[in-house]
Homo-oligomer: A and B are copies of this chain.
Amino acid sequence: MRPDANDMPEFTPRQNAVLEQALRLLVEGGEKALTTSGLARAANCSKESLYKWFGDREGLLSAMIAHQAAKVRTHERSGERLTADLLREHLELFARDLLEVLAGDVSLALNRLSIGQSGPGGSKLGKLLLEHGRRQIDRRAMALIDQGKRAGLLRFENADAAYHTLYGLIVSDLHVRMLLGEPGLRDNARQAERAVDAFLTLHGTQKQSADAPRVSAGR
């Protein structure tokens, strides 16, 4: 892959640089710091260009979401044959990645922005964030647990329900807490391990650690 190949079809490099500045402002100062004048000043561009490129403020916010989503690509090279240990390893990797993504500065800032903008009727931003932000993660996890089932390592009726169970076990109320300003976990890996343990106890086909503690990482 060419290192400077720009896969993002939406915007020119200049516009991407502006969006990067917009994200920086948003992360550093919250929504109130993301003003058209401030962005123009920070990105060395004119307000007129902003409106020419993104239409209006909501267009800018949408572009920021799309830009950020395009930056996060999930590696889904999982052609290998699955064993129980391999499945567990992949699940824990997914859990750690998920926790890391959710705790990221930009993710939190964008979620705060969309939620703050969101009303009872559901804003465009919310839909967009859910669609762009979650699709990658969802697909990766669904593919993984589907593979686990086909390999006879997992057992469930509804893949969607099983995925939601896994998600809940991993994240619990941590996401909302962080959105409200609380600091994240001190050890994501530990949480990931516990969540996968529980998930395999619920949906695994082999004896899990529920009774006998696992050999690794003695607590």
Q: Which residues of A contact B (CB under 8 A)?
A: 27-31, 105, 108-109, 111-123, 126-127, 129-130, 161, 164-165, 167-173, 175-177, 179-183, 194-195, 198, 201-202, 210
Contacts and interface: CB of A to CB of B under 8 A. Distances in A.
Nearest to A177: B130
Given A29-B119, A168-B169, A171-B172, 10 more contacts: A30-B118, A112-B118, A115-B116, A118-B179, A122-B181, A130-B180, A168-B173, A175-B175, A176-B176, A201-B202
A176 B116 contact: no
User: 4 shortest A-B CB distances, which residue pairs?
Assistant: A116-B116, A122-B181, A168-B172, A126-B180
Nearest to A176: B175
Number of copies: 2
Nearest to A164: B172
Interface centre among A114, A118, A170, A177 (most CB of B within 10 A): A118
Contacts of A173: 164, 167-168, 171, 175
A176 B27 contact: no
A179 B179 CA distance: 11
Contacts of A122: 180-183
A122 B182 CA distance: 6
Given A112-B118, A169-B165, A171-B173, A127 B181 contact: yes
Contacts of A177: 130
A183 B127 CA distance: 11
A198 B71 CA distance: 36
A118 B29 CA distance: 10
